[in-house]
Amino acid sequence: MAGVARKFRVRHIDTDTLAAWQGEAASRTLYLFDVRSPDEFMAGHVAGSRSAPGGQLVQVTDRFAITANARIVLIDDTGVRATMTASWLIQMGWSDVYVLDGGLENMARESGPRTVAAPEVDAVSVTGLAPSAFDLDDVLVIDLADSLSYRDGHIAGAWWAIRARLADALTRLPAAKSYLVTSPDGRLARLGAADLALLTTAPIRVLEGGTTAWRAAGLPMEKGYQPVDEVCPGRRSHRLILWGPVLKGICRWQWD
């Protein structure tokens, strides 16, 4: 493992540095990812960390780390999984990736899932989507799923966006009289809708149950990246170019 760390220049930080970065989180985004299994995370994890198993973190990075150039600190129990995950992320172009020395040792811990209270926003169910409730002729649907989930299936005509970049996306999206925000299960959509409300005076609602509820109702779905590339040009090709060699490394690591 020391060879991997040297080859990819994996950097480590101590708890004092982590504490300092946590104090700067308002001005510089910090992600604290626990790369162990979800069961290990539930049993006990560093307070404030988020479960992000190494393979998943690399495969769908934009589901976990939506802010470019953020600091990413990885935690595990032995340092092995954190170091391997850091090496993959570095190969994908993430420059500020670090492993926490000592991992779980001497850190305040908590157990159970990490929960975030969802803000109160206007919501509408699939059955409630009628002109009397929300003008469907003028609505623009924004999907906050990760890019792979969006590619595999989204509401017909929905535009893909990243929550942290909504302000920029709004300048590129078509003009709309109202917005409907969705995500796979609707939870991230609630957070995004609250953010969006600070950027526009147009009516905003969240789809209850998210895209999963839409799909279950048998309503029109599409596959592919369009019209995502019109909002975030270059992101797809950048991701695919970087992903190939990293995927091979993950497969070797998991199978050897």
Q: pLDDT tens, 49-68?
A: 999 998 888 887 877 887 77
CATH number, domain with residue 95 = 3.40.250.10
The secondary element (H helix, E strand) that includes residue 219 is none
**CA distances (Å), origin 185, targets 152, 208, 224:** 15, 8, 19
Residue at 238 is within a domain: no
Please determine, for residue 100, whether its predicted confidence score (pLDDT) is greater than 90.
yes
CB atoms within 10 A of CB 233: 11
Q: Say what the pLDDT of residue 56 is.
A: 84
Q: Is residue 244 in a domain?
A: no
Q: Give the residue carrying structure tokens 């159970």.
A: 112
pLDDT tens digits, one per residue of 197-209: 889 999 999 999 9
pLDDT over 90 for what percent of the chain? Answer: 36
Residues 81 and 153 in one domain: no
Is the torsion defined by CA of 128, 132, 137, 139 positive or negative?
negative
At 117, is the pLDDT very low, low, confident or very high (cuts 50, 70, 90)? low
Helix segments in the chain, DSSP class H: 2-7, 15-23, 38-43, 54-59, 61-64, 80-91, 147-152, 166-172, 187-196, 210-216, 228-231, 235-255
**Residue 255 in domain:** no
Structural domain boundaries enclosing 57: 2-112
DSSP bridge partners of 160:
143
